[in-house]
Amino acid sequence: MASNLAIPCNGHPEAELLLCCARTRIGPDTAERVRQLLKEQIDWNYLIEIASYHGTIPLLFWNLSRLAPDDVSKTTLEQLKAASNAIACRNLSLTGELLKLLNLFRERGIRALPLKGPALAAAAYGNLSLRQFCDLDILVPKEDMLKAKEVLMLRGYHPTLDLTAGEEAAYLKSHHDYKFVRSKDSVVVEIQWGVTQWSFAFPFDFEDAWEDRQVISVAGASVLNLAPEILLLMLCVHGAKHRWEQLKWTCDIAEMVNTYREKLDWDRLMDQARTLGGKRMLLLGLFLAHNLLGAQLPEAALKRTHNDPQVRLLTRQVSKRLFREASNPARLRDEPPFFYWRARERLRDKLVLLSRYFPEYFFRIVVPNKRDHAVLQLPPSLSLSYYLIRPVRLIWERWWHFSNGPGGAAD
């Protein structure tokens, strides 16, 4: 069953070229399409800009240098090579730090599983330099959070939040992660005991993940990792949480599918997603990977995506704005949270989301901010007038945006 959704590149050959190159496996037809696109008038500055935003510079350089090095100017290739080498060096440095931290956690009796980052690059991409990442995410049981904090502080890290003991206890109860940074090299480590905030209504059980853990090789070292079924579901939830704003998250799904297609227990994956209320988020991630990057889904999985009209609607929505929003991602986060409503299949999950996201959106829409004050300087006695100015400004800017294309102002 093939997809008939068009790949929306907004008339830019650069966007299509990036989609063709944002993968580790390229068939003959796609390779030929790359060569055809390179014969067009490519705006290389724009291509590099969107590739950088979408975290796909390494894949772009790797494929262009393999498939058609003579069709790209030497200056451009050198620019891409320099950027890719810098990313590769950073990745290797972070990989070394991850291995040290995992060893320290093991010595302290802390069970830990890496999430995304080097482990994902090694498991799905087969190459640490091809998956761009900028920090380290490590899953631990919630009861071991403070022990993990001690290990990190001994390594020179400190929390990014300045909290008292009481505030920290409250924070750990209401959140799913704790971020640390090391001043000397700006390395960021996020310790997580969940995938999302409680208000996203997606439960995560570390014990289940630990029970199904597997061993993979990362830079020659044996590392405990999430089972591919759990990892794939978590990646789809993560992408949905961020509305699939960056292409690299869809690349992760495509690489996981292409690497583990014959090894995945697809029935178990679907059952697990259904139990946790993440079936539609899983199907959306799979269909985006199939439609945008040619991931070869099993027929049964592809049929499920076609049987859910909301998945196809959301795929169109994500694809349509994928490159439109690259220059102004803030606009995406200002949109009404209907995406989250449609991305969930269970009413109880929708209601939990409704309780959080709609009040936040309503507050952003109604309450004046500095942009409204910049429109017209009023004395303090007339400050309530900004509540009338704000809707007029928003309507004007939305009209200007749709009349003149992307790039207009946003809150």
Taking 50 as the threshold, does the pLDDT of residue 407 lie above it?
A: no
Q: Predicted confidence band at 289 (pLDDT cuts at 50, 70, 90)?
A: very high
Structure tokens given for 352: 């939990």
For 207-244, what is each residue's pLDDT tens digit? 999 999 999 999 999 999 999 999 999 999 999 999 99
**Could you report the per-residue pLDDT of 124-137, keeping only the tens digit for each?**
999 999 999 999 99
The predicted structure's pLDDT at residue 409:
40
Count Cα neighbours of 409 within 13 Å in the Cβ-side half-sphere.
9
Check residue 364 and give its pLDDT.
63
Between the CA atoms of 249, 326, 396 and 361, what dihedral angle is there, to the nearest 10 degrees? 30
Joined tokens for residue 388: 């009338």
**CA dist 300 to 289, 304, 326, Å?**
16, 6, 33
Mean pLDDT of 78-93: 97
Cα–Cα distance between 120 and 226 in angstroms, integer?
Answer: 10
Task: Give the dihedral sign, CA 17/22/24/30.
Answer: negative
- Tell me the three state secondary structure of residue 224: strand
Q: Which residues of 284-309 are buried (b: 16+ CB within 10 A; e: fewer)?
A: bbbbbbbbbbbbebeeebbebbeebe
Confidence of residue 174 (pLDDT cuts 50, 70, 90): confident
Helix (H) or strand (E) holding 113: strand 113-115
Determine the average pLDDT of the residues in 69-74: 95
Give the domain ranges of the chain: 13-353, 367-411
Confidence class for position 288, pLDDT limits 50, 70, 90: very high
> Hey, what are 107's tokens?
């010595």
Give the global pTM.
0.86
User: Given the DSSP bridges, would you call strands 187-192 and 136-139 parallel, antiparallel or unpaired?
Assistant: parallel
Residues 142-156: tens digit of each pLDDT: 999 999 999 999 999
**Domain over 13-353 is classified CATH 3.30.460.40:** yes
Least confident of 20-29, 83-92, 167-176: 167-176
